[in-house]
Amino acid sequence: MTSPRIAITMGDPAGVGPEIIVKALGDPAVRETTHAVVIGDLAWLREVAGMLGSDVEFTAVEHPDEADFDGAAVPVVDLANVTPEVAFGQLSAAAGDAAYRYIARAVDLAVDGSVDAICTAPLNKQALHLAGHIYPGHTELLADLTGTEEVSMMLSARSLRVIHVTTHLGLIDAIDRIEPGLVTRTIERAHRTLVDAGVEKPRIAVCAINPHGGENGLFGYAEEELKIAPGIDKAREQGIDAQGPVPADTAFFRAVRGDFDIVVAMYHDQGHCPVKVLGIDAGVNITVGLPVVRTSVDHGTAFDIAGTGIADGAGMTEALRQAVLLARVR
């Protein structure tokens, strides 16, 4: 079976992205199963590999079609845009703009079929904003670049999968945004993604917003009855096994125990905290609903350790593995 082509974006060059890419590509298993092409800066990648004492080699290509994926060197679509302003661990507009350019090029390559999936190293939202690219994060940026009106963020870590109804919003704004149609569409995306991944009949837990699921109106303002339950009912009418609203303080425990295949979280921290407790370095972020496959590590740029050589590449290795699996399905 031919290995899928995966475009790896280098992320913010001042963060740990280049380091975890070098470490992941140093794993023989990754190289055997993945035709990886990095969208980034060739000189910067070589500098990081030298810093790490890695034997991973890189070579420049104009386009993935030119790449020799069976060769010793990893092909790099070299945008050559790491300027002297960029330094490890330092916030800068130059680094934010570089990260944006990597993503934009990768999207172009994925949309035209030159690569089969995108796997992203972390960017820094503040650096992105300093460069004039005003997005809350990767998810919204990818949706805009692909012309997709609505997507969902899905996290996968060990024995737990989570998909979010809302993501990068303050809590009050998130609760205001939740409505039955959005809940239904999120459940549908969860169901479709798991079916595509080989889960024949996904069991889906849908979280409540309030403690104890609202306790029959004791807590909150009937959000469960007005915003969530009708969305679940609509999904169930389609034959989807969606249960809830389930109190969030038990939903994730039950999913890890094996009662559910995925949990629908209502807001960012409700879904992120349980996943990160299981292992922040091994979590994978998957954008569901895009016309292209996209996976990512589930951690940030880690400016505090960037350039020190201690970043863990396990998350990038797992993100690449998931990208390969999803690309083969797609």
- pLDDT for residue 281: 62
With beta carbons less than 8 A apart as the criterion, state whether 259 and 157 touch: no
Give the CATH number of the domain where residue 166 resides: 3.40.718.10
- Residue 123 makes CB contacts below 8 A (sequence gap 6+) with 11, 12, 15, 17, 96, 99, 100, 103, 137, 138, 301
Torsion-angle region of residue 93: left (phi > 0), alpha (psi -120 to 50) or beta?
alpha
CA–CA distance, 263 with 283 (Å, rounded to integer): 15
- Residue 281 located in a structural domain: no
**For 92-138, how does the pLDDT look when each residue is reduced to its tens digit (9 = 90+)?**
999 999 999 999 999 999 999 999 999 999 999 999 999 999 998 88
Do 303 and 225 share a domain, yes or no? no
Do 119 and 226 share a domain, yes or no? no
Do 223 and 322 share a domain, yes or no? no
CA–CA distance, 177 with 53 (Å, rounded to integer): 48
Give the end of a domain, one of 273, 300, 315: 273
Do 127 and 214 share a domain, yes or no? no
- From residue 262, give the alpha-carbon distance in Å to each of 44, 154, 184: 39, 9, 15
Do 158 and 142 share a domain, yes or no? no
Please count the structural domains in the chain: 2
Token pair for 200: 């024949």
Helices first, then strands: H and E counts in the chain: 13, 12
Whether the pLDDT of residue 217 is over 80: the answer is no
**Quick one: how far is CA 325 from the chain centroid?**
14
The helix (H) or strand (E) run that includes residue 192 is helix 180-196
Phi then psi for residue 180, to 5 deg, are -55, -40
Do 141 and 158 share a domain, yes or no? no
Task: Label residue 280 by pLDDT band (50, 70, 90).
Answer: low
Phi then psi for residue 161, to 5 deg, are -120, 140
Whether the pLDDT of residue 289 is over 70: the answer is yes
- pLDDT for residue 279: 67
- Where b means 16+ CB within 10 Å and e means fewer, 252-288 reads bebbeeeebbbbbbbbbebbbebbbeeebbbbbbbbb
Domain span at 18: 5-148+290-329
**For 133-187, how does the pLDDT look when each residue is reduced to its tens digit (9 = 90+)?**
999 888 899 999 999 999 999 998 878 999 999 998 899 999 999 999 999 999 9
Do 137 and 162 share a domain, yes or no? no
Do 55 and 128 share a domain, yes or no? yes
Average pLDDT over the chain reads 93
Within 10 A of 209 (CB to CB), how many other CB atoms are there?
Answer: 23
